Amino acid sequence: MTSEEAKMRELLASPPFSKRDLTSEEAGLFMEALTHDSYVSEKGEGVSYERLEFLGDAVTELAASEYAYRLGGDEGEMTDVKQSIVSNRCISASVLKRGIKIDSAARVGNGHINKRTKMPVLEENMRADIFEAIVGAFYLLYGLEEARRLVLAVLL
């Protein structure tokens, strides 16, 4: 097992994910979810998280929209609630606030590595995109209810 895979498995074993004993399919999809395109460009290996992030963004918006709808209010109020949940700034802040170590498990190119610590340094939008990619992987692997549970557990 590579150190990158070990970091991924450590991240996924911890709450709110709590996924242990991953199959090779699960591990592969989660490695993809953690891979920035700069890593793919520099290393010439792997697949970036962009496709999973596209799917996870939609699932995240759905969960936030359902939550906003249940709170009530008119369309403008529901939109404001949803945006307060799904903006990159809010997703990134929620991930950090809950101590979810996406940054240390991310696979990024050298431009996103701290030269002194050799650890990834993620921008707010990258952290949010990786979280959404993980949500996309959860959706594909475990279904909508499990993906919704993850979104609500982290973002609310």
Residues annotated as catalytic are 57, 132
Number of H helices, E strands in the chain: 9, 0
Judge residue 25's burial from the number of C-beta atoms within 10 Å of its C-beta, 0-12 exposed, 13-18 middle, 19 or more buried: exposed
Calculate Rg over the CA atoms of the chain.
16
Distance of CA 78 to the CA centre of its chain: 24
